[in-house]
Amino acid sequence: MKQLMACALLFSTLAVAHDMKSLKVGESVPPFALKNYDGKELSLPKVLKENKLTVLMFISTECPVSNGYNERMEQLYATYSKKGVAVIGINANKAEDVKAIAEHAKKHGFEFPILKDERNKVADQYGAQVTPETYVLNPTGKLVYHGRIDDSRNPAKVQSHDLADALDKLLAGKEVTVTEAKAFGCTIKRIVTD
């Protein structure tokens, strides 16, 4: 009986140890500096200072759900970068290297930077689970929206433009009514660290 209880305790301790923090809306986000696929480093504190809002999108070169959003992600960049919003892609998948990210970006005409999150450290700090998954930050580094881009992988079936609605309200100085909308997609393929 004691062995069984010890095993159960060990299992629950390990489960807690592998749980990652999930950021909550209103919390300050952890700063980071990552390299774009072209080798240029981007520092989050610098990006926050230079923009009205910052959108971080965890994306993938291989996930069919993420790829279903390629055109919409580029459109978000084209629309909101003119309004003082930084749009940044982050790839945290262990099997997707910088070369694959560069080729994918070129193929799909991405003009926004795509940072490589080596060893998924940023994904772990933010609690990102799927691709695509987005985080909107204000200039002080507070999380003001977290979740999906919209409510359907199929552009023709979209009913709710959650990310764009949040950005529009924030830029207009209005209160965001939906600050969290559950993201859906492929799970981020992580390197598990102890």
pLDDT of residue 193: 63
* Predicted confidence (pLDDT) at residue 83 exceeds the cutoff of 60: yes
For 140-169, give one letter per residue: b (16+ CB within 10 A) or e: ebebbbbbbbbeebeeeeeeebbbbbbbeb
In this prediction, residue 22 has a pLDDT band, given cuts at 50, 70 and 90, of: confident
For the chain, give the mean pLDDT.
Answer: 90
- Residue 167 CB-half CA count within 13 A: 28
In this prediction, residue 10 has a pLDDT band, given cuts at 50, 70 and 90, of: very low
* Predicted confidence (pLDDT) at residue 6 exceeds the cutoff of 50: no
- Residue 128 CB-half CA count within 13 A: 33
* Predicted confidence (pLDDT) at residue 4 exceeds the cutoff of 50: no
* Predicted confidence (pLDDT) at residue 15 exceeds the cutoff of 70: no
What string of DSSP letters covers 112-162? S-EEE-GGGHHHHHHT--EESEEEEE-TTSBEEEEE-SSS-SSGGG----H
* Predicted confidence (pLDDT) at residue 7 exceeds the cutoff of 80: no
Residue with tokens 């892609």: 89
Report the distance separating Cα 85 and Cα 93, nearest Å: 25
- In the chain, the domains with their CATH numbers are 25-187 (3.40.30.10)
Identify each DSSP E strand in the chain by its residue range: 33-36, 41-43, 53-58, 85-91, 114-116, 130-131, 133-137, 143-147, 180-181, 186-187
* Predicted confidence (pLDDT) at residue 47 exceeds the cutoff of 80: yes
In this prediction, residue 11 has a pLDDT band, given cuts at 50, 70 and 90, of: very low
Mean pLDDT of the region 60-69: 97
